[in-house]
Structure 1
């Protein structure tokens, strides 16, 4: 790889792409994988082809990494590019100015719903993948999805419905969708009042959807290829829309700040809507953006100043209160997904160097006691997004396991760790040694065999 590519932060260090696809079987396991873990752990991320230097971290080609686990064994590892038209250079904009929704990077997330495995990137259609990570093709819910699809859909734990949206830089700016538990698209609705803002994620509660209309706004002059910039003139708002549809959201003006990922949204005992997630102020957003674009003066790590934050929105009074929750720099926060839309006690997240930490770490927050556990990654090591898998006979919210990929620069290697979600500071329950270093990536999912035919 050329020196020019190595100087770009999102193509160096933990983020250095791998040059090709491999398959390895019968992986070495240290410790003992719990026998109840039977399925696949898939993780998505950006991995440009050799010689390709994208203008933004988010524009690198999507590559999935997968580990198959069954009967206490790690049966295989494989990595595969998502084979979209964009992988071979097809542009999103056609010569006639129309948008090719199949020209996707497909490098942000991977989920399973109704038996389909979908690789996601918010500017395009999802791409369906096989259980062995072969690309099946663009998926549009039998022609009913006519916009892009978010990389952060939410599955309702009570109904199995998949809630998601598409957003655009031109009207209509925001469209909300629901697919039933069988994967049929049953509802679509233009959300009135939304603006041309970067809406990467949203919130879902039993009665509401929660929309982020924050001050990162479409700007065609942005040179990175991701045409959004911070705007001091856009009024930052959070919208609360009843899930039944047919009405406009109630918009709450909030302090200027950006949020990429919603940790959770829920309704408290007083009927207020509570939204939690890592918040960026202007300085932290623009510093992080420098890393994401490789701009001069970029920081050493991809997240600067993003801190746990809470917004409390009261539909009855129209008032809003917000409060910081911690001073660590964190991103990629997750919870026990059985509590999506409900008040949760525990949050698991990646902490970045800074604010008193010298190295990457995993953090577990306890909302009841205010305590936090910090698991230091160690020198030259970086944790990926943690994913909570409930224990088969678990009763408590944190009865289960955390799955996370950890990269080690000194050894040029990676492992899949299985951690005790009750105490993440304990040594791993198991570590699956992978046959190559996996570049630091974005989001992933555990797909149990019950959800996916083997």
Structure 2
């Protein structure tokens, strides 16, 4: 990068990368950590190696930040790059013979647990397995049964414990659907006919259906940022509904033109219609956000510009789709109690960006039954991460639990992990775990309870009422 040019937005401010890996034990805790929290909070994000300026935010190397909690103590913090060939050897996704190296991942989007394995995910590659101490183990191809890339947003069914996921590609077959058993064995693989070369970052499941998102951000080799996708006014916007059992036949619903990176949840209502929630981008919002992600002139000050809450209702009986806004705030990174995945949810949470009347970053909580909204401001120059919901041990509703979020504090050049009471964001934090460094703003993370790593055949958490 030219010394006279300003730094890329995804390499400055809250997103300034760290330059090394550290381990610190015996973290200072203000307040009281609920004793039932026993596990690891892990958060993934793009953190290029020193001296590297990727051409797109999404191309930065993955780094996992982890906090180990047990018996009311914060035992350690550590951060580790995911040592894939893309990190250690600068290996490209495409080999010289134009074949795809699915192991050459930056592994920087998400980190999950399934079947007793920790997996770092990036949607155009294989997942990478990590040790409980965050050391890189190896790429994981589900014992040879995963032949394509894997989405960074799989969905675990809270009833069956199965993991639903997909791989997408700009080249046929564009979409492949997978189901893995609770133990991590792929038990279903289906090519989904009729899908196109769109950027399909996320999807949704309901109790009986899979919801596909085929929207007008499509493969375009003229895009030079290294992520070859652009908005197209010629590509139809549609959502697909497919039964989870039986033939992989998709019913497509035309919807208003827009883009959707992350779904909040989907479910079937009492009338048998499929309801899908998530923050939607129009063309102007998408293209302004893309400028931030690439550092192009005219970018805004935040990576999310203009994505607002929306609800789609898809009626299989009539073949019609309706949609409506659910909020006017600029939000991203929606979250729910994962025990409500595919089922009606009452509450959801999100990161709210400056704009639409907000001067600073906030956490937002929504009550979808009453329409109420709570906002938590953490103050100027402080940015929370994606909220992560952890259910309380004896909770009976989908807001009985805790929200975990890492806060980047620019003024203090510091970070802390907050433990919040999810039932009421107006309450003071239950605990603040002081971290030994400022953690750069990242993307997605997970709470990994000790029980999940102890037994690969652990039954899913019990469901709660919405």
Q: TM (normalized to structure 1)?
A: 0.99
The Cα shift of 1:247 comes to: 3.5
Q: Which residue of 2 aligns with 1:316?
A: 317
Q: Which residue of 1 aligns with 2:335?
A: 334
- Distance, in Å, in 2 between the alignment partners of 1:382 and 1:365 is 19
Structure 1 contact 5–53 (Cα < 8 Å) conserved: no
The Cα shift of 1:3 comes to: 4.6
- Distance, in Å, in 2 between the alignment partners of 1:396 and 1:348 is 14
Partner SS state of residue 445, structure 1? strand
Partner SS state of residue 327, structure 1? strand
CA deviation map 1:74-111 (0-9, x unaligned): 00000000000000301111111100000001000000
CA deviation map 1:289-317 (0-9, x unaligned): 00000001111111111000000001111
The Cα shift of 1:234 comes to: 0.2
Q: Which residue of 2 aligns with 1:50?
A: 50
The Cα shift of 1:222 comes to: 0.4
- Distance, in Å, in 1 between the alignment partners of 2:351 and 2:185 is 34
Query: Is 1:297 aligned to residue 301 of structure 2?
Result: no
Cα–Cα, structure 1 residues 101 and 241, in superposed 2: closer, same or farther, change >3 Å? Answer: same
Q: Which residue of 1 aligns with 2:169?
A: 168
- Distance, in Å, in 2 between the alignment partners of 1:449 and 1:186 is 26
Query: Is 1:150 aligned to residue 159 of structure 2?
Result: no
- Distance, in Å, in 2 between the alignment partners of 1:403 and 1:4 is 39
Query: Is 1:38 aligned to residue 38 of structure 2?
Result: yes
Partner SS state of residue 454, structure 2? coil
- Distance, in Å, in 2 between the alignment partners of 1:36 and 1:228 is 44
Aligned pairs (5 A) from 1:73-92: 73-88=73-88, 89-92=90-93
- Distance, in Å, in 1 between the alignment partners of 2:25 and 2:309 is 40
Structure 1 contact 311–321 (Cα < 8 Å) conserved: yes
Q: Which residue of 2 aligns with 1:400?
A: 401
Q: Which residue of 1 aligns with 2:136?
A: 135
Q: Which residue of 2 aligns with 1:191?
A: 192
The Cα shift of 1:368 comes to: 1.0
- Distance, in Å, in 1 between the alignment partners of 2:247 and 2:54 is 41
Q: Which residue of 2 aligns with 1:20?
A: 20
Q: What is the Cα-based RMSD across aligned positions, in Å?
A: 1.1
The Cα shift of 1:6 comes to: 5.5
CA deviation map 1:112-162 (0-9, x unaligned): 001000000000000000000000010000100000000000000000000
Structure 2 contact 190–248 (Cα < 8 Å) conserved: no
Structure 2 contact 35–70 (Cα < 8 Å) conserved: yes
Q: Which residue of 2 aligns with 1:101?
A: 102
Aligned pairs (5 A) from 1:400-439: 400-439=401-440
Q: Which residue of 2 aligns with 1:110?
A: 111
Q: Which residue of 2 aligns with 1:440?
A: 441
Q: Which residue of 2 aligns with 1:203?
A: 204
Q: Which residue of 1 aligns with 2:29?
A: 29
Partner SS state of residue 175, structure 1? strand
- Distance, in Å, in 2 between the alignment partners of 1:288 and 1:371 is 28
- Distance, in Å, in 2 between the alignment partners of 1:397 and 1:250 is 31
- Distance, in Å, in 1 between the alignment partners of 2:332 and 2:67 is 24
Aligned pairs (5 A) from 1:190-269: 190-269=191-270
Q: Which residue of 1 aligns with 2:458?
A: none
The Cα shift of 1:397 comes to: 1.7
Shift >4 Å, 4+ stretches: 1-6
Give the aligned length. Answer: 454
The Cα shift of 1:378 comes to: 0.3
The Cα shift of 1:36 comes to: 0.4
Structure 1 contact 310–324 (Cα < 8 Å) conserved: yes
- Distance, in Å, in 1 between the alignment partners of 2:437 and 2:3 is 22
Q: TM (normalized to structure 2)?
A: 0.96
- Distance, in Å, in 1 between the alignment partners of 2:289 and 2:223 is 15
Unmatched runs of 5 consecutive residues or more in structure 2: 456-466
Structure 1 contact 189–245 (Cα < 8 Å) conserved: no
CA deviation map 1:171-224 (0-9, x unaligned): 000000000011110000001100000000001001100000000000011011
Partner SS state of residue 51, structure 1? coil
